[in-house]
Amino acid sequence: MYIVTGGAGFIGSAMIWKLNQMGIDDILVVDNLASTDKWKNLVNLKYSDYLHKDQFLKFMAEGEDPFGTQAVIHMGACSSTTELDADYLMENNLRYTQVLCRFVLKNSVRFLNASSAATYGGGEKGFCDNHDGLENLKPLNMYGYSKHLFDLWANRAGILDRIACLKFFNVFGPNEYHKGDMMSVICKAHKQIGQTGAMRLFKSYRAEFPNGGQMRDFVYIKDCVDILWWLLENPQVNGVFNVGTGIARTWNDLARAVFAAMGKTPDIGYIEMPEAIRDKYQYMTQADMGKLRAAGYTAELTSLEDAARDYVTGYLDKDDPYLDSREG
């Protein structure tokens, strides 16, 4: 049994898709569907059962494994970078993950955990995933801090050689449609360009970055789940790892890639950035991928242009844009 927490969410459902591609459907989906549209991400996928996250947590807290678990792929978390309820983030992102971690270690189960590039804050300390630099990082928002606290806890407990924590950078791709304001800019741009023929980006408030010249490491969801699968197949590879492309691209590059994928002439304008996020805004992120490469991961990562083309033409332009277990 493979357990995927946050299994109806973006990365979680994409990982179920990947497992299906590899012939695996003995999967327990753990999530909190409530009244969201996340359930739509599961319709085209194959899995054995579903549990609400609170019910699953009770099993984990008891310490015994009633599922015959082979791996826990923990993608479940509140991923909103604007969430203000710090207590909620502490319980949902930190304490929950600690309980799961204790369970997998007790039962010798493979554990892949979603951390985040938000742990790097403004990037003043760089974007290197070496363990000895964890203590120096200063996240800019509570979400990033909640993820950072688990990385610190695992490091101080001396267990990072037994689990894998993945610092995802700017992930985009199919099955993110339920995320509202937290959807990728590519997903938002497809709709905006389709409706207006134009795309609007935030202005820059730092002289060294022109408008639209702010930079991100944009990584395609299919590359992310390929990395997760590789880690499942290589359980000896553990620690904190960046998941990005290693190449920072500008928002203008992203906009032009979407226009090209849609077969339209670029029309890019710039709007004021909300004051509430100006002092928490990352102007540049770029994953240092050397550690994962040194561990043996050799697959080529998809370029922004190729990924945008696949996402737009293969999914966003379709009536049913969701990942389908029959693909591949």
User: Per DSSP, what are the bridge partners of residue 51?
Assistant: 30
- Residue 115 vs residues 35, 136, 257, 276: alpha-carbon distances, Å: 26, 16, 28, 24
Tokens of 127: 């974007």
322 included as an active-site residue: no
- How many C-beta atoms lie closer than 10 Å to residue 116's C-beta? 24
Q: Give the side-chain half-sphere CA count within 13 A for 229.
A: 18
| Residue entry with tokens 């459907």 | 25
- Gyration radius (Cα) of the chain, Å: 19
Residue 11's H or E segment, with its range, is: helix 10-21
Give the integer Cα–Cα distance in Å for 38 and 53: 14
Based on the residue annotation, tell me whether 179 is a catalytic residue of this protein. yes
| Catalytic pick among 46, 179, 188, 280 | 179
Report the run of H or E that residue 75 belongs to, with start and end: none
| Cα gap 50→127, rounded to integer Å | 36
Active-site position among 96, 120, 143, 311? 143
Q: Which residues are catalytic?
A: 143, 179
